[in-house]
Structure 1
Amino acid sequence: MKFTASTSTILKQIQMLNGVIPNNPTMPILENFLFEIQGGLLKITASDMQTTIISEVNVEANADGNVAIPAKMLTDTLKNLPEQPVTFSIDFETYTIEISSDNGRYKLAGENAEDYPSNPDFDMSNSLSMTSEILGDAIGYTLFATSSDDMKPNMNGVFFNLSEEHSDFVATDSHRLVRYRRHDIAVTGMMSPIIMGKKALTQLKNILPSESSDVTLEFNEQYAIFSFGSMKLISRLIDERFPDYENVIPLNNTNLVTLDRQALLGCLKRIVIYANKTTNQVRFKVQDNELFVSAEDLDFSNEAKERLFCEHDGEDLEIGFNAKFLIEILNNISSDRITLRLSEPGMAGLIVPEEQPENEDVLMLVMPIMLHNFSY
């Protein structure tokens, strides 16, 4: 069997699938791409048994057939070829693949496609559509706050809580929490909440089209399928109970501090250099319309302090935070100005953009650190 396509056409498809290929797979055949050709349509599959990505592209083929091709060798070969048509010749008796170009021939050993794990039959009980822009924003705002602790599997992904009133995308690692809420996702009837794993969402974010297009989400209790254009991502869901995030978000944080996001971000990046390397603790001291940010490391006699101007509505307050968490949060907010909603030194603080687009509500929570006795 033979089929022909340009190097860029095949390379573009497999590069989007490459992130799923496992480094140390439980099944050696998962180091391969599955190539399936039917009626001139090439379907390429990559999987690690938890996440599967399928891409489709039209090629010139003289027959139908399936074969598993080593992912790394194929990618490295096509990356180093100039743009030109290449012909794949497949011997189904030996599973040998020969790639012919204008410059030469490259022969590699494939495997029997029948040994590649097949996807289960899916009976999806829930389905809805959203734009790739909304989905990309939801992943972008939440993914960084997911936990990497294997002892907290329920926090190793993003919680999708979809309802007719609003749709929440939530992530937490118990030190911080992000809730990205949309009011413009068309949800009809009751939808079961789901937890999507971090790796699957990372791959999904990487393959979402840059131009806004429709994405269909179908899911049941075990799997979720995202479909858009010629791409499909299938992921096993995390079967755990997500924390009750609504009860964690404080409602009485009325001490408001509004200031420039970049100014605070730059300040924290400088101050954290002088903080204790274990806790990364910084002190916020709010007085009138000034925010004093300070840190010290008693072990090395290091200390630093800066003053920022802000708009302050509330009582004077001192509160401590982990600067690394604040820096990550501020890096994942696009607004020029943010508002810190504070309460007491022992209560969680909220960070929200001062202005938010219609139908969007971003809220980020960070837990405080108990302050030491030092003060400037």
Structure 2
Amino acid sequence: MKVTLERNHLLKSLGHVHRVVERRNTYPILANVLMSATADGLDLRATDLDIEVTETVPAMTGTPGTTTVPAHTLYDIVRKLSDGAEVVLETDGNDQMLISSGRSRFHLACLNPDGFPDLKSGAFTHTFSIGSDVLKDLIERTQFAISNEETRYYLNGIFIHTIDAGDGIVMRAAATDGHRLARVETEAPQGSAGMPGIIVPRKTVAEVLKLLDGVDGDVGVELSDTKIRFTLGGVVLLSKLIEGSFPDYERVTPKNNDKLLEVDRDSLQKAVDRVSTIASERGGKAVKLSLSQGQLELSVTNPDHGTANEELPVAFEAEPFEIGFNARYLLEIIAQIRTENAHFLFNDAGSPTLVKEEGEPKALFVLMPMRV
């Protein structure tokens, strides 16, 4: 195998594929990237057995062939080569690869490509295209609520499904960790109606979000009950889905919260950030909201460091009311509000709070209170 290609093209593609490779692997071949030189260029493929990423790099192929080399080592080498340099990748047999660029020479040990796993996709039941900006919005506004608790594995991803909303079919993305819930919807792409409800794993979600940077236009999506495949420009990401049933999030979404707080989003975010500076981890980073007509007082009490208070003018007409929240959870939800004002709908101090945008929101968030 012998190929010649431009360093920047190779670096960009390696940056896409090497990220799925774990630093520690039970099987040595999983630490490698599969490289296949063809007349069309250099095909790169990497996998961790749950996710597989493939991309073709423009290259001049002198001798076709296939091999595997350590993914992270190759990426680090190419990253340190001169910008715009010409890179030659050459193997003689399957034992070593020579990487040459200018006066630099590297020899990397190769592993036989016959042992490289293939994450077979199987048959897909639904195929559709979705705008890259729409997909990015669905992921960004729900990703923060994905659970890290491995025992509740069915919460370790984003639940995506379609429903009939009465005035049309919508696609919803939802995530929860039991403390907060994020739900975002958009008009269902053509071809997605009737798709199975799927749970896309946390790592897959993070990789897709990184790949979406700089991508314009539509993203191709193919899915079945067990796998999903994204085509983003020249990159193809195939992933297993989480098996299991996502909880009925509608059941825990408040329906009768009638105490409305309307507050300037930016002012609230900055005020919560300021007063939470002295909040203690031992106390759960708790911040108390004390509401009275036209006014919100934020307060934090830390027995070790002192107290913090700040007042904000707000629109609130209900009886005086107090409730506590985890400051980090509250800030993460406020960060997802895209309108000038945020709407909080309360019931009582022990019930979930609903957070929405002004107007006809496509996103809503649920936050569990804390005892303060």
Pick the TM interval, shorter chain.
over 0.9
In 2, Cα distance between equivalents of 1:189 and 1:325:
33
1:281 equivalent to 2:286? Answer: yes
TM-score calculated relative to the size of structure 2: 0.94
Q: 1:291 matched to which residue of 2?
A: 296
1:102 equivalent to 2:106? Answer: no
1:340 equivalent to 2:341? Answer: no
Q: 1:122 matched to which residue of 2?
A: 122
Q: Work out which of the residue numbers 164, 171, 177 in structure 2 matches 1:167.
A: 171
In 2, Cα distance between equivalents of 1:33 and 1:188:
33
Q: Letter of the aligned partner of 2:119 in structure 1? A: N
Residues 178-193 of structure 1: matches in 2 within 5 Å? 178-193=182-197
Give a deviation string over 1:90-120, Cα, whole Å, max 9, x none.
112x431111222232221111111111122
Give a deviation string over 1:235-288, Cα, whole Å, max 9, x none.
111001101001111111221111122211111122223334222221111111
Q: Tell me, yes or no, if the aligned pair for 2:2 and 2:65 is still in contact at 8 Å.
A: no
TM-score calculated relative to the size of structure 1: 0.93
Please state how far the C-alpha of 1:363 moved relative to its aligned partner: 0.6
Q: Work out which of the residue numbers 257, 276, 280 in structure 2 matches 1:253.
A: 257
In 2, Cα distance between equivalents of 1:121 and 1:266:
47
SS at match of 1:207: helix
In 2, Cα distance between equivalents of 1:81 and 1:276:
46
Moved over 4 A (4+): none
Q: Tell me, yes or no, if the aligned pair for 1:39 and 1:63 is still in contact at 8 Å.
A: no
Q: Relative to structure 1, is the Cα distance of residues 120 and 184 closer, same or farther in structure 2, using a 3 angstrom cutoff?
A: closer
The share of aligned pairs that are identical, in percent, is 28
Please state how far the C-alpha of 1:338 moved relative to its aligned partner: 1.1
In 1, Cα distance between equivalents of 2:63 and 2:24:
34
RMSD, matched Cα: 1.7
SS at match of 1:151: helix
Q: Relative to structure 1, is the Cα distance of residues 169 and 301 closer, same or farther in structure 2, using a 3 angstrom cutoff?
A: same
Q: 1:84 matched to which residue of 2?
A: 85
In 2, Cα distance between equivalents of 1:183 and 1:364:
19
Q: Letter of the aligned partner of 2:262 in structure 1? A: T
Please state how far the C-alpha of 1:190 moved relative to its aligned partner: 1.4
In 1, Cα distance between equivalents of 2:352 and 2:328:
16
Q: Letter of the aligned partner of 2:210 in structure 1? A: N
Equivalences, count: 366
Please state how far the C-alpha of 1:31 moved relative to its aligned partner: 1.0
SS at match of 1:293: strand
Please state how far the C-alpha of 1:27 moved relative to its aligned partner: 1.2
Q: What residue ranges of structure 1 are gaps of 5+ in the alignment?
A: 372-376
Q: What residue ranges of structure 2 are gaps of 5+ in the alignment?
A: none
Q: 1:59 matched to which residue of 2?
A: 59
Q: Letter of the aligned partner of 1:112 in structure 2? A: N
Please state how far the C-alpha of 1:144 moved relative to its aligned partner: 0.9
